[in-house]
């Protein structure tokens, strides 16, 4: 748009064009409404519009399996050598939980968050000492007794299925959910796997599998072009704050 253009005239022409595409069936009215609603509601909507294009890297099942994938990830990203060669990850069988995350005991909250800060712009409402703030006794899962693996839906945004459902409601329904540590590892893995991609652009990823020392639920999102850790109330329910459901996978006794 040149400096001589009338911005309101251009806006009117764009809206008219969009309305015509809806009438012609080129665009879905509900999808356009969602996008316009985001512009209306979010003062930082430009961060979404200006986000860098994500690399078109396949994030389906790795050719040599998930265990080998995460062995490489741990070695290249954290410098940790982990032997997962005996691990057999069962197929998802169309369940929609296409991503697998491994958690090993060497990875503390502080170590994982420090790696986030090293690899991309990151901020935390808790500061840098997450080990002091996140209560281990409240975690749904930890690797203190050995490594474990968990499946999540292979989506950039957290689950639509958990929209407007609070952490308390999820617990009452006995739904397993992502922990903050798993959410940070998923962000790091996706960034590493795609060559710079990120998650949670539009919605906030609630982590009901964790609690901080004040009883709040940690959350993650993209904010102002950076990765952000913050928190929400366990009773809070919002269309833009939603969890990723989790499916824990059994590992061979030899790696436990």
Name the CA dihedral angle for 195, 112, 240, 52, rounded to a multiple of 10 degrees. -20
pLDDT of residue 222: 92
pLDDT of residue 93: 72
Q: Where are the alpha helices (DSSP H) in 25-62?
A: 29-41, 45-49
pLDDT of residue 1: 43
CB atoms within 10 A of CB 178: 28
CA distance 159 to 16: 33
Residues of the chain with pLDDT under 70: 1-5, 26, 38, 41-59, 252-256
- Sequence-distant (6+) residues with CB within 8 A of 48 are 38, 42, 201, 202
pLDDT of residue 52: 44
Contact 187, 256 (CB under 8 A): no
pLDDT of residue 137: 93
């Amino acid at each position: 748009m040149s400096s001589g253009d009338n911005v309101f005239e251009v806006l009117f022409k764009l809206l008219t064009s969009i309305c015509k595409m809806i009438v012609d069936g080129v665009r879905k009215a509900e999808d356009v409404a969602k996008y316009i609603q985001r512009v209306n509601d979010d003062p930082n909507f430009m961060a979404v519009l200006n986000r860098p294009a994500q690399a078109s890297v396949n994030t389906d099942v790795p050719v040599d399996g998930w265990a080998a994938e995460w062995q490489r990830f741990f070695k290249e990203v954290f410098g940790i050598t982990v032997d997962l060669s005996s691990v057999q990850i069962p197929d998802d069988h169309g369940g929609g939980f296409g991503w697998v995350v491994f958690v090993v005991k060497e990875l503390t909250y502080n170590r994982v968050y420090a790696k986030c800060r090293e690899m991309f712009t990151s901020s935390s409402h808790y500061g840098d000492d997450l080990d002091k703030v996140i209560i281990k006794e409240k975690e749904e899962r930890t690797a203190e007794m050995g490594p474990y693996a968990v499946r999540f839906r292979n989506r950039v945004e957290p689950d639509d299925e958990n929209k407007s459902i609070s952490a308390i409601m999820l617990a009452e329904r006995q739904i397993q959910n992502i922990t903050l540590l798993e959410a940070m590892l998923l962000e790091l893995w996706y960034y590493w796997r795609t060559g710079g991609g990120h998650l949670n652009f539009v919605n906030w990823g609630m982590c009901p599998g964790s609690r901080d020392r004040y009883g709040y639920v940690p959350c993650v999102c993209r904010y102002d072009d950076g990765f952000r850790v913050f928190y929400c109330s366990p009773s809070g329910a919002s269309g833009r704050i939603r969890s990723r459901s989790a499916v824990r996978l059994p590992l061979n006794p030899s790696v436990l």
